[in-house]
Amino acid sequence: MSLTEILRRKKRSIVSDWVERTLDSYTSSGFFKRSKDLFANPVGANIRNGLDRLYDLLLEDAPWEEFTEPLDLVIRIRAVQDFTPAEAVAPIMELKWVVRRALGRKEKDQVSRTELDYFDLSVDRAALTAFDLYMTCRDRLHRARVNEVKSGRSILADNGCVSSRRLAGENRLP
């Protein structure tokens, strides 16, 4: 039996473990794990959807252009949060560990080293694409912040209400 056949057969448990490990990286992971509603929990729902689709694409040996959309569902969320670049992309790399853990001893003996190496290479390429997406998102955030500062809107947003400062004893304007 080929690695792809084994991974297709074990998809539900592998993706479930992968999503679980990814959601564990959030401080509010309990909520993200419980609620599967897209509107009540967009973070959890998008991560589940993105990782599920990414897994299918990896098994299909799909063209790389198709990887962008599911990776974007996961990485865009992580780019606006307090994750380092490594932490933001780490869940993609963890798929290799999850897969090896899911393979039984008999299955490991059936799978050729070449198949595992090729799968690892595909995951690595997905992670590199995720890193590119992360950097693009961060660049957009920084440009938006610079434009906000240049336009003067940051003064209004960052300093709060003038009247609240006066009540606190500050008589000067920003």
- What pLDDT is recorded for position 104? 85
Sign of the C-alpha dihedral, residues 96, 102, 105, 109?
negative
- What pLDDT is recorded for position 30? 67
Residue boundaries of the structural domains of the chain: 3-167
- DSSP 8-state code for residue 111: S
> Which residue is listed with tokens 């959601």?
23
Full pLDDT tens readout for the chain, 174 residues: 899 999 999 999 999 999 999 999 887 666 566 666 666 778 888 999 999 999 999 999 899 899 999 999 999 999 998 899 999 999 999 999 999 999 988 888 889 999 999 999 999 999 999 999 999 999 998 888 887 777 776 555 555 555 554 455 555 545
Residues written for the chain: 174
- What pLDDT is recorded for position 39? 67
Tokens for 168? 């606190």
Distance CA 84, CA 53 (A): 24
